[in-house]
Amino acid sequence: MVRVQGLGKSYVEAGAEHVILADVDGEIAAGEFVALVGRSGSGKSTLLNLIAGIDRPDLGEIWVGGSRIDTLSERERTLFRRARVGFVFQFFNLIATLTVAENLQLPLELVGRTRGDADGIVAGLLEEIGLADRGAAFPDRLSGGEQQRVAIARALVHDPDLIIADEPTGNLDLETGEQVLGMLGRMVRERGRTMLMATHSREVAARADRRWRIVEGRLQDEQG
Amino acid sequence: MARLLRRTGIRYLRRHPWQFVLAVGGVALGVAVAVSVALATASATRAFVLTNEALTGTATHQIVAGSEGLPDELYRQLRVEVGVRAAAPVVEGFVALAANPARSVRLLGIDPLAEGSIRNQFGADPATRDFPLGELLSESGAVLAAAGDERFALGQSVPVLVDGRQVQLHVVGAVRGAEDSGLGDVLLADIATAQEVLGVTGRLSRIDLRLDGVDEDDLVRRVQGILPATARLVAAQARADTTVQMTRAFELNLQAMSLLAMLCGLFLIYNTMTFSVVQRREQFGALRALGVTRAEILRLVLAEATLIGAVGTVLGVAGGIGLGNGLVRLVTRTINDLYFVVTVRELALPPLTIVTGVVLGMGGTLLAALIPAAEATRVSARLALTRSVLEERALRTSPRLAAVGVGGVAAGFALARWSGGGLAGAFAGLLLIVLGAALMAPVAVRLVAVLAAPLGRLAGAPGLMAARAMTAGLSRTAVAVAALAIAVAVIVGVGVMVTSFRMTLVNWLGHTLQADLYVSPVSPRGQAATLPLDPAQLAAVRAAPGVQRTRSIRAVSLETEGGATQLLVVEHDEPDRQAYRLRGDDPDIAWQSFADGAVLVSEPYAERRGVAAGDVVTLPTPSGARVFAVAGVFYSYASDRGAVMMTRGVYDLWWDDPGISGLSVYLDSPESAQAVAEFTRNALRPALVSVISNRELREQSLRVFDRTFLITGVLRTLVTMVAFAGVLGAILALQLERAREHGMLRATGFTPAQLWQTVLWQSSLIGIAAAILALPLGWLLAWVMIHVINKRSFGWTLQMTVPAEVLWQALLVAVGAALIAGIYPAARIARTPPAIVLRED
Ligand SMILES: Nc1ncnc2c1ncn2[C@@H]1O[C@H](COP(=O)(O)OP(=O)(O)O)[C@@H](O)[C@H]1O
Ligand SMILES: [Mg+2]
């Protein structure tokens, strides 16, 4: 499903080059759940952004679902992301000026689903995340955990092949974080989707099929 | 665009109504000012064209001969000898209403028997005629007036004044639809009646001709063959165009000022859109992560701008029509004071002006939104740049921006001064200077921040916070400073220009008006008047007790190649050297050659026709065109059309015209002014003359000046209003953006009073930064307006005077406006409990 090969990425800051990723190789099979771990600042978000087609590598190749995406244009990568990737971030997930239901409809509208279609899917998902009665509310009326549940639903609503989550619980208290992660894991597995998630939580990492650890710009694959 | 995307934009605007309202207001005011000025000037022009069309009828050509006119005989020659079939003689002039001498109406004398071919409705043919022909021809003083005009009701007898005589007119008929066809302020009379009323027996003002058909060229040649030396055959259309052209510079100046208002409005839009984009960086980042393309983000931001632009433009065009109704009166009055008589009944609404307003409003808004919109597309899904990174970039680029700004100002200044650029180049240069100065705003902010560093010690924590916030929010502060600086610079620039102009005029009046009393016939303004008196009366005034000496002046207009030329004839070979200042460093030589028969030309004449001392001018005299050497150029601010001055001796040599237009009287002592005035009025009876004192004449002139610049003052106020809205918007944006920080400050123990102080300190600093930028910019604007734009528009040299009070007023306005704009945000912030502020992201 995902294959990266010889990936390199560095930033130039104040004239000095900082190598964040150096020669990263790795592969994720369809339906697999891989946890991405590493110290803060080790380059987890950077790698996720590369795989999601948000950013471009300096070196190497990125393949997702049989297409090579690092050579695509900015616009093509955006359209790829729109159709194939679901995203959950730590912050800034929901669009403040859209209601909860509209936030879920947005990805469907972007891929061109009809509204009648979309309404049904959204209603079903809201039911599934236990927020059936909050569809008309604006996100700032929801608690942090509720907001993150909506973000998860939104990442899945258009049925993407790959779900990318960047510390989705970093902003939540432990218990709520556990609930949210439980829901994310269950929903991804039920749908048989592939997920790559950056996390600091040992427990979450333990629940994954595999762990990728970034150490000094390289990936260490940890099985089990 | 996706429905939900659109919805995010609309909801964003709805959640920030003040921001939306200010932006819409900025566009609306800018468009309103531009549209109203365009409508007002277009209305005046249209009214002139309409009247002119009605007066010209179907004539293709006119024979004209200045104020002296043509002999009656010429008309007979044209019909009989040349065989022109379509020709009609006209006697035209203005009469003042005795009931209200400030109001004058046009008297048009025609020959109904000849009008069939030129102005059909006034022809004698009973089939097309709608007036009592017999009475018009036979009754003394019989006129036709516009139907429905109460001043000239049917059967009424109306006393009018002309050339110091009072004459009775009798309204014997009404012209239907006169108002609509531009004949609202026109009285029609038989030609003999008009000659009698205007005192020009045996003379015609002009002859209208229709020279078309196959033999046109031949006819033109034959007509020219019999013309007297002072007459010219001109194309009717070209002549009307020349007249309209006179007001062009005046109107262009108004339009340029109205565009300044628009420019300030665009700053507002730029600021609003930038703020809205900065505020939504995270949201745009999230949208990009969801797969919204850059193009879609661009369209979203531009769609918001379009909405603002559309609402603002609609309000602006509507407001412009309202405002235009007020401005048209000011514009018309100025045109009447300075150029020609025109009456505007209603505001014209040419579709092109409306379209231009729409293009200006929409185009300007989109243009101003382009940079923020592009900025929005640069927000990447990779977590959005934080605010401090953004401000760091602003800090880093500020020296480069300032360098570009300096280049812009220098280029603008060079462009304005480049003589090949004409008036348009001067205005483009002015625009460049303004934009260049705006780019220096970030550096001005940093300068003030450095200067304000000790504020922490002086004003405690609020002072420190305010000084820090200047650079911490540089991208916002700089826009507020730029908008305010431009407005204040306009105030300074226009203030200095008007003051300089007025001072120049006052000085000029001071040395030009040397006599104690000025005598002129009671007559409509703007007409070459003649004092109807015999030599004995004149001698009586000269010999009157208390009179030291008198001096006559003759003013006539001549028809020359470049249009009408005013000829001033002065009585002495060497008029008071004090009274006329000459350009150049050797006036003695110029005066000598003037006494020897050369002429002087006024400065606007020299500028317009490219004539200098040592050149020659050709003037039509009754015995043919004569060439006169130009002895020098004299400063004159009486009219921007220019005049030629010659001595009475030279005039009498070539012209057979003993008439005088006015008399200046020098007294032995000023105490006798009243007595001499009274004596003069009696001695010149039955002529009705006005005798006014030196002071009254000065005051009258300055009143006209102040009236002319009233509209400038109105425009300046409007520009200031737009800029104020801009500053208010920028300061609001700045403070609300820092709401989180303010919440934090409150939470850590800042009192509401301290927050108030913080915001007001910061507003003052913004005001000071704006003033630092505005003073040199305003001076530069004034310099260009005085030395380039005025010179190219009107041909006048003005002495630049920079009154000290203009400068401190500017400082006061800058700081005052910023402080006032700071009050609402300060109050709002101080009122908000910290918890709410902290929650709002
Ligand atoms: N746009 C950028 N410019 C410069 N440095 C960056 C940029 N984005 C990330 N970095 C740097 O790259 C490193 C890795 O960042 P990131 O991938 O966000 O780490 P993680 O997600 O593992 O905490 C950090 O040192 C960060 O400062
Ligand atoms: Mg990270």
Parallel, antiparallel, or unpaired for β B165-175 and B142-146? Answer: parallel
Please choose, from the candidates B806, B769, B271, B781, the residue with its C-alpha nearest in 3D space to the C-alpha of residue B485: B769
Per-residue pLDDT tens over the stretch A102-129:
999 989 988 888 888 889 999 999 999 9
The answer, yes or no, to whether ipTM is higher than 0.85 is yes
Question: B227 is written with which tokens?
Answer: 């013309």
The dihedral of CA B166, B171, B172, B177: what is its sign? Answer: positive
Q: What are phi and psi of A214, to 5 degrees?
A: -95, 120
A-chain CB neighbours of B288 within 8 Å are 54, 78
- Helix axis angle, B535-543 to B673-683, nearest 10°: 160
A159-B280-A99 Cα angle (round to 5):
50
What's the A110 CA to ligand 1 centre distance in angstroms?
29
Q: Which is more confidently placed, B533 or A217?
A: A217
Q: What are phi and psi of B163, to 5 degrees?
A: 50, 40
Please choose, from the candidates B403, B286, B241, the residue with its C-alpha nearest in 3D space to the C-alpha of residue B8: B286
Q: State the SS3 of B746-777.
A: HHCCCCHHHHHHHHHHHHHHHHHHHHHHHHHH
Helix, strand, or coil (residue A213): strand
Measured distance CA(B439)–CA(B402) in Å, rounded: 6
pLDDT of residue B85: 83
Would you state the torsion angle of the CA atoms of residues B514, B517, B521, B526, taken in this order, to the nearest 10 degrees? 40
Q: Which residue of A has its CA nearest to B288?
A: A78
Residue A4 near residue A24, CB atoms below 8 Å: yes
pLDDT of residue B838: 45
Q: Which residue of B has its CA nearest to A85?
A: B290
Q: Which of B290, B385, B389, B396 would best serve as a mutation to test chain A binding (most A beta carbons within 10 A)?
A: B290
List the residue whose alpha carbon is closest to atom 24 of ligand 1: A41
Measured distance CA(B85)–CA(B213) in Å, rounded: 12
Measured distance CA(B596)–CA(B583) in Å, rounded: 19
Could you count the other beta carbons within 10 Å of the beta carbon of residue B453?
A: 13
Residue A215 near residue A43, CB atoms below 8 Å: no
pLDDT of residue B839: 45
Ligand 1 is surrounded, with C-beta below 6 A, by A 11, 13, 20, 38, 40-46
Place of tokens 């409705």: B121
B105 alpha-carbon distance from chain centroid: 24
Give the number of A-B residue pairs with CB atoms closer than 8 Å.
Answer: 82
Question: B443 is written with which tokens?
Answer: 């550096």
Q: Which residue of A has its CA nearest to B839?
A: A140
Which residue in the set B3, B8, B384 is minimally distant from A95, CB to CB? Answer: B8
List the residue whose alpha carbon is closest to atom 2 of ligand 1: A11
B533 alpha-carbon distance from chain centroid: 39
Residue A188 near residue A204, CB atoms below 8 Å: no
Per-residue pLDDT tens over the stretch B78-123:
988 888 888 999 999 889 888 888 788 889 999 998 888 888 888 8
pLDDT of residue B840: 44
Whether pLDDT at B523 is above 50: yes
Q: How far is B5 from chain A (nearest CA, A)?
A: 8
Per-residue pLDDT tens over the stretch B252-272:
778 877 877 788 788 778 878
What's the A55 CA to ligand 1 centre distance in angstroms?
12
Place of tokens 């990805």: A107
Task: Please answer yes or no on whether B291 and A85 come within 8 Å at the CB atom.
Answer: yes
pLDDT of residue B240: 84
B-chain CB neighbours of A49 within 8 Å are 381-382
Residue B22 near residue B725, CB atoms below 8 Å: yes
A-chain CB neighbours of B841 within 8 Å are 96
Please choose, from the candidates B323, B353, B430, B266, the residue with its C-alpha nearest in 3D space to the C-alpha of residue B46: B353
Q: Which of A92, A122, A166 would best serve as a mutation to test chain B binding (most B beta carbons within 10 A)?
A: A92
**Which residues in B have their CB inside 8 Å of a CB on A?**
2-5, 7-8, 11-12, 15, 282-283, 285-295, 380-384, 839, 841
Which residues are registered as beta bridge partners of B599?
A: B630
Whether pLDDT at B633 is above 90: yes
| HSE-CB for B644 with a 13 A CA cutoff | 32
Max CA-CA distance within chain B?
104
List the residue whose alpha carbon is closest to atom 5 of ligand 1: A11
Place of tokens 């003013």: B555
Indicate left, alpha or beta for A200 from its phi (over 0: left) and psi (-120 to 50: alpha): alpha
Examine residue B686 and say whether the peptide bond preceding it is cis (omega within 30 degrees of 0).
yes
Per-residue pLDDT tens over the stretch B606-625:
988 889 999 999 999 988 88
pLDDT of residue A124: 93
- Any CB–CB contact under 8 A between A27 and chain B? no
Task: Please answer yes or no on whether A97 and B286 come within 8 Å at the CB atom.
Answer: no
List the residue whose alpha carbon is closest to atom 17 of ligand 1: A43
Parallel, antiparallel, or unpaired for β B157-162 and B87-97? Answer: antiparallel
Parallel, antiparallel, or unpaired for β B662-667 and B599-602? Answer: unpaired
Question: B506 is written with which tokens?
Answer: 């006052």
Q: What is the mean pLDDT of chain B?
A: 85
Question: B813 is written with which tokens?
Answer: 């306005």
Q: What are phi and psi of B232, to 5 degrees?
A: -135, 145
Strand order in the sheet with A218-223: A85-88, A162-166, A194-198, A33-37, A210-215, A218-223
The pTM of this model reads 0.80
Indicate left, alpha or beta for A6 from its phi (over 0: left) and psi (-120 to 50: alpha): left
Residues 6+ apart with CB under 8 A from B816: B767
Measured distance CA(B628)–CA(A39) in Å, rounded: 96
Q: Which residue of A has its CA nearest to B14?
A: A97
pLDDT of residue B528: 64
A152-A158-A163 Cα angle (round to 5):
50
Q: Which of B1, B3, B4 would best serve as a mutation to test chain A binding (most A beta carbons within 10 A)?
A: B4
Question: B70 is written with which tokens?
Answer: 């043509």
What's the A174 CA to ligand 1 centre distance in angstroms?
25
Measured distance CA(B596)–CA(B811) in Å, rounded: 55
Place of tokens 């003073």: B775
Per-residue pLDDT tens over the stretch B177-204:
777 777 888 899 999 999 999 988 899 9
What's the B65 CA to ligand 1 centre distance in angstroms?
86
Per-residue pLDDT tens over the stretch B4-29:
888 888 888 888 888 888 889 888 98
The length of chain A, given as a count of residues: 224
Question: B471 is written with which tokens?
Answer: 């650079």
Q: What are phi and psi of B646, to 5 degrees?
A: -140, 165
Residue B34 near residue B357, CB atoms below 8 Å: yes
Could you count the other beta carbons within 10 Å of the beta carbon of residue B576?
A: 15
Question: Which of the residue ranges B318-322, B718-722, B767-771, B832-836 would you say has the lowest mean pLDDT?
Answer: B832-836
B54-B56-B58 Cα angle (round to 5):
95
Helix, strand, or coil (residue B553): strand
Measured distance CA(B274)–CA(B268) in Å, rounded: 10
Task: Please answer yes or no on whether B290 and A83 come within 8 Å at the CB atom.
Answer: no
Question: B698 is written with which tokens?
Answer: 């000065």
pLDDT of residue B404: 95
Which residue in the set A55, A91, A98 is minimally distant from B8, CB to CB? Answer: A98
B175 residue type, one letter = V
A-chain CB neighbours of B290 within 8 Å are 81-82, 87, 106-107, 110, 154
Question: Which of the residue ranges B116-125, B134-143, B302-311, B778-787 would you say has the lowest mean pLDDT?
Answer: B116-125
What's the A129 CA to ligand 2 centre distance in angstroms?
26
Q: Where are the domains of chain B?
A: 1-58+240-385, 69-229, 387-512+695-841, 523-687
Letter string b/e over residues B318-341, b meaning 16 or more CB atoms within 10 A of that residue's CB: ebbbebbeebbebbbbbbbebbeb
Helix, strand, or coil (residue B533): coil
Please choose, from the candidates B158, B146, B169, the residue with its C-alpha nearest in 3D space to the C-alpha of residue B345: B146
Q: Which of A10-14, A74-78, B776-780 has the highest mean pLDDT?
A: B776-780
Measured distance CA(A98)–CA(A132) in Å, rounded: 16
A156 residue type, one letter = L
Residue B492 near residue B782, CB atoms below 8 Å: yes
Please choose, from the candidates B518, B444, B454, the residue with its C-alpha nearest in 3D space to the C-alpha of residue B482: B444
Q: What are phi and psi of B172, to 5 degrees?
A: -105, -5
- Specify the fold of A31-54+74-223: Rossmann fold (3.40.50)
pLDDT of residue B568: 92
B377 band by pLDDT with thresholds 50, 70 and 90: confident
Whether pLDDT at B337 is above 60: yes
Residue B441 near residue B769, CB atoms below 8 Å: yes
pLDDT of residue B379: 73
B693 alpha-carbon distance from chain centroid: 30
Q: How far is A220 from chain B (nearest CA, A)?
A: 24
Task: Please answer yes or no on whether A110 and B288 come within 8 Å at the CB atom.
Answer: no
Place of tokens 């468009």: B31
Residue B63 near residue B226, CB atoms below 8 Å: no
Per-residue pLDDT tens over the stretch A129-187:
999 999 999 998 898 889 999 999 999 999 999 999 988 887 778 888 888 888 898 89
Q: Which residue of A has its CA nearest to B295?
A: A75
Helix, strand, or coil (residue A60): strand
Which residue in the set A49, A83, A109 is minimally distant from B4, CB to CB? Answer: A109
User: Ligand 1, residues A45, A91, A200, A219: which to mutate, most atoms within 8 A of Cβ?
Assistant: A45
Could you count the other beta carbons within 10 Å of the beta carbon of residue A16?
A: 8
A-chain CB neighbours of B11 within 8 Å are 97-98
What's the A46 CA to ligand 1 centre distance in angstroms?
6
Q: How many helices (H) and strands (E) does chain A have?
A: 7, 10
Place of tokens 């959640």: B15
Measured distance CA(A109)–CA(A122) in Å, rounded: 12
A positions 99-138 inside 8 Å of B (CB)? 102, 105-107, 109-110
Residue B734 near residue B391, CB atoms below 8 Å: no
The dihedral of CA B650, B651, B654, B656: what is its sign? Answer: negative
User: Ligand 1, residues A7, A37, A46: which to mutate, most atoms within 8 A of Cβ?
Assistant: A46
Measured distance CA(B518)–CA(B693) in Å, rounded: 6
